[in-house]
Structure 1
Amino acid sequence: MKLYPPIAYLIHSGTADQDERKQRWIRIINSLSLVTAVLAFIMGIVFFFLNRKLQIIIPAMIETAGFIGIIWLNKKRRSQTAGISMMVLQAMGFVYFGILLGTAVEAILILLFLVNATYLLYEKGPERTICLIAIAGGLITTEFFYYTELVEPITFAHTTTFILRWLCILFILTMNTLVIRFYKEDRNVLMKALEEQKEELVRSNKSRKVFLQETSHEIRNPLNAIFGIVQLMRMDLKKAANPETLPKLVDDLYVASFNIKDIINNILELSRIESGHLDEVKRKEIYIRTTIRNTANIYEYVANTKGVHIEQKFDEALPNNIFTDETKLSQIINNLLTNAIKFTRHNSTITIHTGVKEKSWFVSITDQGGGIEKDKLEKIFEPFVTEKSSFIEGTGLGLYISKHFAILLNGNITVECVQGISTTFTLSLPLSDFRRATILSAKEDPLQIRFDNKTILVIEDDKMSQALLKNYLSGLGVNVITANNGLEGLAAARQQTPDLILLDSHMPKMNGRETLQRLKEDPALLHIPVVIASGDAFTEAMDVFMKAGANDYVIKPIVLATLPLILERHLHK
């Protein structure tokens, strides 16, 4: 509703810099006070001209000034005082004029407005109690004077009484109508919010349904492959078949397992983003060429199943080291590589080009999949959006998450297509990442790193995981000690002090967190670096362990090719 500027100024007094709910509350108080002040002024003048009695005109003018003062209190940021004062002043006016004018003018009906206004302004709390007590006190006081006749009401001529009675009725109707209007506005606001929430729930349910369908479909494909491959391997073993077929089955098994790992990682990241969790960027110095090479080498297994070769190019101008979040950078490259392998043609080449351009450094990944249609490029970074191909469909989560991480790292991801030939995704990050980095020596190939004469204690309750880690670490020259839970692990560490402890987070008898706490409380063991191995991929879980004294955190399923680099950080210091 459009208001004249002076009226709008009074009604909105004190609402600046307040939240929406508080603004509305203040506007209601100002509106009721302004209307009451105007009506008190008009009725005071009319009453005075009808009977020339100062007992009416003076209190009416005082009441007018009082209600204008309520607006002034709101302007001075004393809204709670203003609300209580308005209700108390209304009750006092009711008592005074009710006693003075008697039963002829039906002043008692003002109580209906006062009760409605109280419940409009105060949902609960001491303020509402104070207002209701003031109203009840006013009613009791007025009825007491009516009954005892201690004060004789002013008498008027019949016509004057009729006019005054209708003026009071109009006052009461106006005030109650105003309160009802505010109630209706509140109802409309609530109904609108409810409708928006309903629409949001419908959209959310639809998204969840699509999400479950996509996720179920994507997990079932590699899971079906794993199940089928294992059955073939069992059949070959039973038949004592030619062992030459085994390497191919093992490679396929690795690829299917790797796909499931990527899907689950993306699902976890999506749930974290949708929950509003703010990802913390944890920057550190990394050797960029090694990071890119290691990631590409891991995906070579996946690419080989399609006869795809991954080619790596590094510009000479590219510095050796950067200062960035290695985990987020790796996940971006992982997702872009996964996407490229899915959509490139069989027996084609994927090119990873890392270099410097103007004020940024970049990693571009080009496939030979024939490009993406122009009308789908705009939505390619939205969740669940996938470009159909003749050989594979994606979850549509990887690009969305990669874009999110790129923005967190103060960068961006762009896509360029040559229709029918190729698609290039380019991650661009600021050159300031290099200026903050110091010189690091190049890392060795993870497969060539060894830990001869080092002892690692593996505390893991899952027998299969325990055996896998023992087998792999032994191949790196490690003397491996195993324990099935935290209690056994503490005993083993005290019996033979290890150089490093690989600790599972979830175990019976004593979990990883309690075991870590015990290790850090033991003077003989607190110096031993502890690497947590957990299936919990959420940042909160990692933060809990790192604050408790863990030296590193790896997420299950563990990519074994990356494990030597993690161990080297703590064993070759």
Structure 2
Amino acid sequence: MDQFCGDDPIAYIYGTHPVKKLVPPCVRSNIMKLFQPLAEIISFGSQNLAEEQQQRIRIINSLSLVTALLAISMGPVFYFITGKLQILVPALIEGLSFFFVIWLNHKRRYEAASLCMMCFQAVWAVYFGVLLGTVIEITLVLLFMISATFLVYKKKRSILICFCVTAGGLLVTEAFYFAGWVRPFVFEHNTTFIIRWCYILVILSLNTICILFYKKMTNGLMLTLKARTLELEKANQSRKVFLQETSHELRNPLNAIFGIVQLMQMDLKSGKISATLPSLVDSLYSASFNMREIINNVLELSRIEAGQLDEVRYRKMDVRKTLCNIANIYEYVANTKSVHIDLIFSEALPEKVMTDETKFSQIINNLLMNAIKFTRPKSDIAIRAGVQGMEWYVSVTDQGGGIEQDKLVRIFEPFVGEKSSFIEGTGLGLHISKHFAELLEGNITVECRENTSTTFTVYFPLSGSDTTHPQASPARPHERKFSSKTVLVIEDDKMNQVILKNFLLNSGVRVLTANNGVEGLTMAREQAPDLIILDSHMPKMNGRETLLHLKNDPGLRRIPVIIASGDAFTETAAGFMREGACDYVTKPIEFTALRLVLEKHLTGAESD
């Protein structure tokens, strides 16, 4: 049997300390029944408060309860010994006054309760000190009040009031002693001895409670400090791993980009185009795309760890169209490994589902990017969407040979990943995908066929989805030319201007450029464009201010505005959308995604 531990009786009163097995069950049950009413009284008024405030209220209630019980029990004893009603009646009133303090806490009048307790202690100490004279040592009560002050009060003003009350009580008592205004009772030697030791017992009881509470608070602080130290050590280690992994993963695609660009420069200087140029361009695109994904995942992880949970914005989404768009974007990356992406839709899949399209897209982006990394060259990746029971699902299957069992059990933890040529990752994608899936009230699973394939499946509730089914799956989006359309690019970075201008010119668009918001507004008023691509960070007038002016101008407010920003955080995009932007693309801009945005706003396609 275990040793009975009596080092924390306060915990027994609260009912939080386990009663040790040395005590027989029947005795243990009686002990708990005895302390249960006391625990309830001590907890009066402490519900639904912060832990520190609960602790202070319990201290006040405990001191008040003990003082009240001692006064009510000792009063009759002293009356029996001395026969003085001047002791009995005030003692009973004293007991009732401290029950009144507990009642004040029960009514959540905390400040009044704490001040009343200290004032009552001082008043009754002075009364009995004057009445009994040197039979009792009033200074013991005053010393107790000083020690209790730091447990009961936190504000300097309250501590100062307590010291003033204590000092005032001491001065009043000494004045009565010195002036002899009231003649103290005189008792026989034996009676005086009993009264003196009963009073010492009272003081010891009150000080013991203070010491036990102080010990409990100190132990709690030490445990919190140890836990916080362990958390900081773990966070510091995680930060080291985070920096090491991130710097390594960024350096690899950056090395590929840097090396490929140098090879292309050498070709240009030599005046002849190498036969390997097309494959180099594909590799350059793949490395750049991968680097962008790494940065996005790092940013998302930092937000998750900071507790910045995105608000979920449910709306109806055409799941087929969304998956086609995502597959179309990633087809370019897959081509660098001669990998083909197959889309397979179940007939039972609703035409539209209720979800947050942004978070859903991030989940599928991460799953598809992982599949491209680890699948075999010249293989297929299958994206399947369908219905299973009361859930709809999307699965992504690669032909990468499966995952080892030891990695499979912790595959959704951050920094768990493998290497695949220069297409690498921090191992954050699956961790973030799981977080977003749970945020959307779904879940994500993984299945492996040994030496063959890996399938990640994400499930979502089917409630709120459109039960109608389309007759045929939509075809992949095809490129469209935007002849006779004019797009105004408001961008302060010259390189970004050149890149966007070349892309738009190749799409048949007439392009206007402005270096800041002021120039952009002037140009838009002179030559009303069909669409505006607006940078969010610019000198003179930033994107938010420019958007506000555009939407307040009757002649410009109907022009679609696309925000282009390096800020990938969802709340930033949501803020611009609320202020009137039609769409939001993040830098570096993926042209396939931008083409879909242009099709939506320049060809009159409706956004669902």
**Fold match (TM-score > 0.5):** yes
Larger displacement relative to structure 2 (96-105 or 255-264): 96-105
Secondary structure of 1:272's partner?
Answer: helix
Q: Distance in 1 between matches of 2:222 and 2:315?
A: 50
State the Cα distance separating 1:426 from its structure 2 match: 1.2
Deviation, structure 1 residue 435: 1.6
Q: Which residue of 1 aligns with 2:236?
A: 205
Task: Identify if the C-alpha distance between structure 1 residues 242 and 554 changes in structure 2 by more than 3 Å, giving closer, same or farther.
Answer: closer
Map residues 237-256 of structure 1 onto 2, 5 A cutoff. Answer: 237-256=268-287
**Residue pair 1:460, 1:503 contacting (<8 A) in 2 also:** yes
Measured against aligned partners, the alpha-carbon deviations of 1:21-46 in whole angstroms (never above 9, x if no partner) come to: 33322221121112112222343233
CA distance in 2, matches of 1:314, 1:195: 53
> What do the CA deviations read for 1:429-481 (whole angstroms, capped 9, x no partner)?
23335328898998775442232222111000111111111111122222111
Provide the rounded CA distance (Å) in 1 between the counterparts of 2:478 and 2:71. Answer: 91
Most deviating of 436-445 and 17-26: 436-445
Pair 1:70-2:123 in alignment: no
Q: 1:379: Cα distance to partner?
A: 1.1
Aligned-partner Cα distance in 2 for 1:440–1:568: 24
Other structure's SS at 1:417 match? strand
The residue correspondences of 1:115-514 to structure 2 (distance < 5 A) are: 115-124=146-155, 126-387=157-418, 394-432=425-463, 434-435=465-466, 446-514=477-545
Tell me the amino acid that sits aligned with residue 459 of structure 1. Answer: I
2:3 alignment partner in structure 1? none
Query: Matched residues in 2 for 1:390 and 1:525: separation?
Result: 49
Cα distance in 1 for residues equivalent to 2:586 and 2:420: 31
Which sits farther off after the overlay, 293-302 or 255-264? Answer: 293-302
Residues 129 and 138 in structure 2, CA contact (< 8 A), matched pair in contact too = yes
Contact 1:285 1:437 (8 Å CA) reproduced: no
SS in 2 for 1:244: coil
User: Structure 1 residues 90-99 or 322-331, which shifts more?
Assistant: 322-331
Partner SS for 1:318: coil
Q: Which moved more, 1:249-258 or 1:561-570?
A: 561-570
Moved more, 331-340 or 1-10: 1-10
User: CA, structure 1 residues 208+436, in 2 after alignment: closer, same or farther (shift >3 Å)?
Assistant: farther
SS at match of 2:392: strand
Q: Counterparts of 2:212 and 2:119 in 1: how far apart (Å)?
A: 22
2:275 aligns to what SS in structure 1?
Answer: helix
**1:301 Cα deviation (Å)?**
2.4
Is 1:106 the equivalent of 2:137? yes
| Separation (CA, whole Å) in 2 of partners of 1:552 and 1:490 | 19
CA distance in 2, matches of 1:117, 1:516: 61
- The equivalent of 2:88 in structure 1 is 57
Stretch of structure 1 that moved more, 27-36 or 223-232? 27-36
Deviates more, 1:213-222 or 1:16-25: 16-25
Distance in 2 separating the partners of 1:439 and 1:96: 90
Cα distance in 2 between the residues matched to 1:265 and 1:100? 78
Distance (whole Å) between structure 1 residues aligned to residue 500 and residue 424 of structure 2? 33
**TM-score normalised over the length of structure 1:** 0.93
Between 66-75 and 450-459, the greater mean CA deviation after superposition: 66-75
Aligned mates of 1:98, 1:61 — CA distance in 2 = 17
Change (3 A) 1:142 1:342: same
Query: Does structure 2 retain, via aligned residues, the 8 Å contact 1:412–1:428?
Result: yes
CA contact (8 A) 2:383 2:394 kept: yes
Distance in 1 between residues matched to 2:525 and 2:273, nearest whole Å: 47
Q: Which of 429-438 and 5-14 deviates more?
A: 429-438
Q: CA deviation at 1:331?
A: 1.5
Q: Which amino acid in the other structure matches residue 309 of structure 1? A: H
Q: Following TM superposition, by how much is the alpha carbon of 1:125 offset from its aligned partner in structure 2, in angstroms?
A: 5.6
Does the CA contact (< 8 Å) of 1:532 and 1:554 recur in 2? yes
Does the 8 A contact of 2:252 with 2:422 survive in 1? no
Alpha-carbon spacing, 1:444–1:486, altered in 2? closer, same or farther (3 Å):
farther
Q: CA RMSD in A?
A: 2.5
Q: CA deviation at 1:18?
A: 4.2
Q: How far does residue 103 in structure 1 lie from its aligned partner after superposition? A: 3.3
**Equivalent residues of 1:323, 1:436 under 8 A apart:** no
Of residues 225-234 and 17-26 in structure 1, the stretch that sits farther from structure 2 once superposed is: 17-26
Percent identical residues: 60
C-alpha distance in structure 2 between counterparts of 1:288 and 1:8, whole Å: 57
Secondary structure in 1 aligned to 2:385?
Answer: strand
Q: Which residue does 1:539 correspond to in 2?
A: 570
Using the TM superposition, give the Cα deviation of residue 416 of structure 1 relative to its aligned residue in structure 2, in angstroms: 0.7
CA deviations on 1:203-234 (whole Å, 9 max, x unpaired) are: 11111111111111111110000000001111
Q: What letter is aligned with 1:147?
A: F
Q: Measured at CA, do residues 441 and 21 of structure 1 come closer, stay the same or move farther in structure 2, by a change above 3 Å?
A: farther
Shift of 1:387: 4.8
CA distance in 2, matches of 1:387, 1:349: 20
Deviation at 1:256, TM superposition (A): 0.3
CA contact (8 A) 1:287 1:443 kept: no
Gaps of 5+ in 1: none
In structure 1, distance between residues paired with 2:419 and 2:599: 42
**Which range moves more in the overlay, 362-371 or 122-131?**
122-131
Deviation at 1:352, TM superposition (A): 1.8
| SS across alignment from 2:288 | helix
1:571 matched to 2:571: no
How far apart are residue 390 of structure 1 and its match? 8.7
Whole-angstrom CA distance in 2 between matches of 1:347 and 1:525: 50
Counterpart in the other structure of 1:90 = 121
C-alpha contact (below 8 Å) 2:44/2:106 kept by paired residues: yes
Q: How many correspondences in the alignment?
A: 573
Partner AA of 2:206 in structure 1: M
3-state DSSP of counterpart to 2:417 = coil
Q: What amino acid maps onto 2:386 in structure 1?
A: G
* Cα offsets for 1:526-545 (capped at 9, x unmatched): 22221111101112322332
Bigger shift: 341-350 or 16-25?
A: 16-25
